[in-house]
Structure 1
Amino acid sequence: MKEILALITTKKQEFAQLPLLKFMQDQSIDPRKRLAWGKCATPFIMGFSDLNKYGFRDLNSNAPIQVLINKHTEQDDYHWRWFLSDIEKLGFDCSLKFSDTVKFLWGEETKTPRWVINQLFRYALNAEPLQKLLIIEVLEITGNIVFGNAAQVAEELQAITGNKYLFFGSSHENVEADHIIDIENFLPTIELTEEQNQEALKLVEKIFELITELVNALFVYATNYDEQQAFMQG
């Protein structure tokens, strides 16, 4: 497991240098624009609850790893409500015909978030509990980095608007940080065969690759946001 944890540390450091994270740190840019990626991420964010329920969770198993996974997934069940609340507060909750909403959610701009959540389903459904736990670990680590940066932007915005942002703000960041503690305490106790170790290394690489692709797509969307005339009054 030491080799896997070392790889996760290396990939975490690389992930923290992605352009979207630097973009969110740039205080010369309107804070709403720095969070505009949230609209593009909708298929991923709203699909994450289903990934937890139907990809990771298994209530028929009493195996210690699976019990830990089940507990973790239940804690994430309600975060989509925070997301919808923040979308409204950020002024992104514009009125669209239902057909236009469908076109956006299944359109070119959101194809990467859709593809990534589908790929995660594929990996989760074919995974053993240990592999599921490693997928969750990578998702939590990358999520903590993204939402740690988003929380700083939300704090700036709260000073301007007076609104508290539950999904993009520090509340979400703190909850996610608490989630990962049990997993990170558990992982070093696991002993692997050489075959399991090699499979796990490949899996970790792949999940980091998928989330990197997602975050890079969100960066493209956010930087082009004004050109799409997507900012609404509010």
Structure 2
Amino acid sequence: MKAILELIERRRSSYEQHPFIRFLRDDTVAPARRLSYAPFASFFVLSFADFNRRYLRAEASPVGYQAMVDRHADEDSTHFSWFLHDLRILGYDVECRVSDVLRFLWSDLGRHTRDLSYYAISVTRGASAELRLAIIEAVESMGNVWLTATLEAARAHPDGDRLVYFGPHHLERETGHAIGSAIEEIREISLSPEDRARAEEIVHGFFDRMEAFNAELLERVDAASNVEFTELLR
């Protein structure tokens, strides 16, 4: 797995320079605007809970590496409630029609958001425990970059001390995962040539789609800069 972790690190270094990540870190931009991407990320965050609960976990009693995967999935499957909490704090918990919400979530403007979610599910179904660990490492690497940059905006926000998903609590829980403490064990996993090639393909697939998702978030933030959120739901 060492070669896969090195690939993840290379893609992570490149991802840290993504325009969306630089936008989140830009202290010349108002914190509220930097965090205004939140509702546009809703589909991914909520479907990520399903990904952990229904696809990453094993259906039967887990053993070996799958037990490690399941512990991680159990932890990550609960984080969506923090996101819903923060949407309220940021002022996005508005009254609206169900049809407007569905139109907002499945708009063509959010196709890359959905694509990332669907990709995560598709590559995980039927994957070995070793490949699922590679998936976790790729997702956690991207998430760490994203949450670390978001935290800079959250700390500068007037209600930053009330934010949970975007605040320090979430990032601290991510870096405190049991999976992180087992990184050396994961590094020593021996992959077959077929699994190594598949893992490389999956890692590139995740980072490519994450970057497209982030570019989409930035486009939607820019397009909505002078528009009330309720107008976007119509």
TM-score by length of 1: 0.92
8 Å contact 1:35–1:222 — kept in the other structure?
Answer: no
Q: Deviations over 1:12-56 (max 9, x none)?
A: 100111111110111121211101111111010000111011111
1:171 corresponds to which of 169, 173, 176? 169
- Structure 1 pair 170/75, CA: closer, same or farther in 2 (3 Å)? same
Q: Counterpart of 2:200?
A: 201
8 Å contact 1:40–1:109 — kept in the other structure?
Answer: no
Gapped runs of 5+ residues in structure 2? none
User: Equivalent pairs: percent with the same residue?
Assistant: 26
Gapped runs of 5+ residues in structure 1? none
Report the CA distance between 1:128 and its aligned residue. 1.3
Question: Aligned partner of 1:176: which letter?
Answer: E
The runs of 4+ residues in structure 1 deviating greater than 3 Å are none
Report the CA distance between 1:94 and its aligned residue. 2.1
Q: Counterpart of 1:131?
A: 131
| Aligned residues: CA RMSD | 1.8
Report the CA distance between 1:230 and its aligned residue. 2.0
8 Å contact 2:161–2:167 — kept in the other structure?
Answer: no
8 Å contact 2:46–2:80 — kept in the other structure?
Answer: yes
Q: Counterpart of 1:105?
A: 105
1:121 aligns with 2:121: yes
8 Å contact 1:48–1:117 — kept in the other structure?
Answer: yes
Distance 2:224 2:164 in 1: 22
Q: Deviations over 1:67-94 (max 9, x none)?
A: 0000001111221111011001111222
Report the CA distance between 1:225 and its aligned residue. 2.3
Q: Counterpart of 1:85?
A: 85
- Structure 1 pair 100/44, CA: closer, same or farther in 2 (3 Å)? same
Distance 2:124 2:6 in 1: 22
Which has the higher mean CA deviation after the structures are superposed, 12-21 or 180-189? Answer: 180-189
Residues 207-226 of structure 1 mapped to structure 2, 5 A cutoff: 207-226=206-225
Q: Counterpart of 1:39?
A: 39
8 Å contact 2:160–2:167 — kept in the other structure?
Answer: no
Distance 1:100 1:197 in 2: 44
8 Å contact 2:5–2:137 — kept in the other structure?
Answer: no
In structure 2, the residue corresponding to 1:41 is in which secondary structure? helix
Question: Aligned partner of 1:102: which letter?
Answer: L
Distance 2:182 2:143 in 1: 15
